[in-house]
Amino acid sequence: MATPPMDVDFALSIMLIGSVAFVLTLFYLLNSQDVDIKRFSWGVLSGSICTFMGVRLGTAYNACWSFYVAGPDASLESQIMAFGVLAIGWYLLLQFILAYWCGLLTGKHDPDFKALVLNLKCWAVMLGVVTGSSSMSFFSLIQEYEKSNLVILYSMPLFTFLVLTLIYHLGDSARHHVASLDGHIDDFEEAFDRFSDETEDVVIGLAVSHVITQTLRFSLTGTLPAPTGASRPGTEVEYRDIVSLASSSIVYVILFLACEQCIPKSWGRLKKRFKMILANCVAFALFYSFTWFALTVLELQGPAQGLVVALGVTWGGFAVMVFLDKLADLDCTGPVFDQNLRNLVMPISTLIGFGWKGAFADAGASLVQKVHWFPAPLEQAILAVFLLSVILPAWRLYILPKVMYDYMKQVKKKKLLDAEGRYLEVVLDEELDKCLDKLESIVTSYPSERHTHHKAIVLELERLRKISENIVQDAAKMQP
């Protein structure tokens, strides 16, 4: 085992060399000539930042909550109750903030729909990951409480999925009921429900996959990891355990592809949740196997271990992303196979995000050991908020708009077409009223001349047809 001075020197050396290489690698990928590589790189970067910030904030706040609410010496039952309340609290806060941005609480809607969508995405993703982090801890604590009962321990992933699905189904029903009170669901209510649904899927994906990985690690080592995912002191990890955990990611990939091919689209959100769970299982299996490798084989610990793991999973994730894209570009692969390969890019964001979360957590723990201004959990929370205040605005202003560009184009087009459709309907209604008035006048003036009636009807219908054609042509010119 390396001595502390050598460990610090090694960490500083890795930080200097790795940070420069990491930044320049990002420059290459974000400015790639390959459109897919460029799009995936922005998406992975954005997703990694979201995961890192959300989990870092959630973990620090959870520790603070446990320290001040449950107490530093609280029993496991008290911790379970405290984290259950915390998970529900984050979910309710998420609903409140999304409803606020949609103007459902104040009745005032943001006229800039683009800014509204970006703000909704920002807070939905951020609070979704924080809620997921709290749910991970809550169900892991229950699993720890019942670890002596192997039936309950191994059925905890299913229990987690069913409980969260039930809670979020009730939340979805409540949102739909409130939105339907006036008999009409407007664009803002639809946006609120859409982003809430996406966030609920993220929470289920994180919580269930975390519990699955905890269960697998227990099967390999015989020791259940801590609720945060950290290995407990004294856990004996052999090389075959590392290989087995890493190899399980291949099984998850096969199940992911089978889920894409075999489960019908009619399953809707259920299919999406299965895919998110499997994708996160891939990320967690690779992350914890690499963490074991750094701890057991490289004999690293503390900030040095965290930094090596973060840089390793980052470069490994980007290498896999490039490989999958090149494989999908081959002529011998069909469009369905190509799409399935590109879907596997999804776990990379989670992998990299958790890698850097671990690195910053180790760095924060090292600082807290040297600085004693406040209790350790509070100092960790302060560090997390400081990081969030620096990273969140930059991500919202400069990264999220690039990632959401294609989606914003679709929203703009849809709203434009909807507006044109309503315009066409209003104009035709007005012209139809004029037509009926004119025909009524003709029938009244010439009650016995059927030929005149027929001719007038034909002329008016032709006039209406030309009006509708002109409006449709103008609308086609306005489309982006």
Given 404, 438, 461, the domain boundary residue is 404
pLDDT 10s digits, 201-215: 888 988 999 999 999
**Tens digits of per-residue pLDDT, 396-452?**
888 888 877 766 666 655 554 444 444 445 555 566 666 666 666 665 665 666 666
Residue 243 lies in a domain: yes
- Do 352 and 463 lie in one domain? The reply is no
Residue 327 has pLDDT above 70, yes or no: yes
Q: Is the domain of 428 the same as that of 364? A: no
- Do residues 56 and 387 lie in contact, with contact meaning Cβ atoms separated by under 8 Å? yes
User: Does 67 have pLDDT greater than 70?
Assistant: yes
pLDDT in tens, 10-28: 667 777 777 788 788 888 8
Mean pLDDT for 255-280 is: 85
Report pLDDT for 209. Answer: 92
How far apart are alpha carbons 457 and 459 in whole angstroms? 5
Whole-Å CA distances, 205 to 49, 200, 343:
17, 9, 15
Last residue of a domain, one of 379, 404, 429: 404
pLDDT at 58 over 50: yes
Residue 288 lies in a domain: yes
| Same-domain status, 246 and 305 | yes
CA 49, CA 55: separation in Å to the nearest integer? 10
pLDDT at 283 over 80: yes
Of the residues 381, 404, 427, which one is the last residue of a structural domain? 404
In a shared domain, residues 31 and 136 = yes
Q: Does residue 369 share a domain with residue 235?
A: yes
State whether 323 and 445 are in the same domain.
no
Residues 354 and 431 reside in one and the same domain? no
The domain of 435 spans 417-478
In terms of average pLDDT, the best of 114-128, 151-165, 393-407, 420-434 is 151-165
Statement to judge: residues 225 and 284 lie in one domain: yes
Residue 125 lies in a domain: yes
What does the radius of gyration of the chain's CA atoms come to, in whole angstroms? 28
Nearest 5°: the CA angle 292, 294, 299 is 110
Q: Report yes or no on 147 lying in a domain.
A: yes
Q: Is residue 260 domain-resident?
A: yes
Task: Tell me if 351 is assigned to some domain.
Answer: yes
Is the separation of the CB atoms in 391 and 53 below 8 Å?
yes
Query: Do residues 400 and 428 both lie within one domain?
Result: no
Q: How many domains does the chain divide into? A: 2
Percentage, residues of the chain above pLDDT 70: 75
3-state secondary structure of 78: helix
The pLDDT value given to residue 480: 44
What pLDDT sits at residue 479? Answer: 46
Please report the pLDDT score of residue 454 as a whole number: 65
Question: What pLDDT digit, counting tens, does each position of 329-376 carry?
Answer: 777 666 666 666 666 777 787 778 777 777 777 766 677 667 677 777
Same domain, 331 and 470: no
The 3-class secondary structure across the chain, one letter per residue, is CCCHHHHHHHHHHHHHHHHHHHHHHHHHHHCCCCHHHHHHHHHHHHHHHHHHHHHHHHHHHHHHHHHHHHCCCCCHHHHHHHHHHHHHHHHHHHHHHHHHHCCCCCCCCCCCHHHHHHHHHHHHHHHHHHHHHHHHHHHHHHHHHCCCCHHHHHHHHHHHHHHHHHHHHHHHHHHHHHHCCCCCCCHHHHHHHHHHHHHHHHHHHHHHHHHHHHHHHHHHHCCCCCCCCCCCCCCCCCHHHHHHHHHHHHHHHHHHHHHHHHCCHHHCHHHHHHHHHHHHHHHHHHHHHHHHHHHHCCCCCHHHHHHHHHHHHHHHHHHHHHHHHHHHCCCCCCHHHHHHHHHCCHHHHHHHHHHHHHHHHHHHHHHHHHCCCCCHHHHHHHHHHHHHHHHHHHHHHHHHHHHCHHHHHHHHHHHHHHHHHHHHHHHHHHHHHHHHHHHHHHHHHCCCCHHHHHHHHHHHHHHHHHHHHHHHHHHHHHCC
Please report whether residue 409 resides in a domain: no
Higher pLDDT, 475 or 449: 449
194 & 296 share domain: yes
Contact, 140 vs 210, CB < 8 A? yes
Mark whether 328 and 246 lie in a shared domain.
yes
450 part of a folded domain: yes
Return d(Cα 241, Cα 440) in angstroms, integer.
Answer: 87
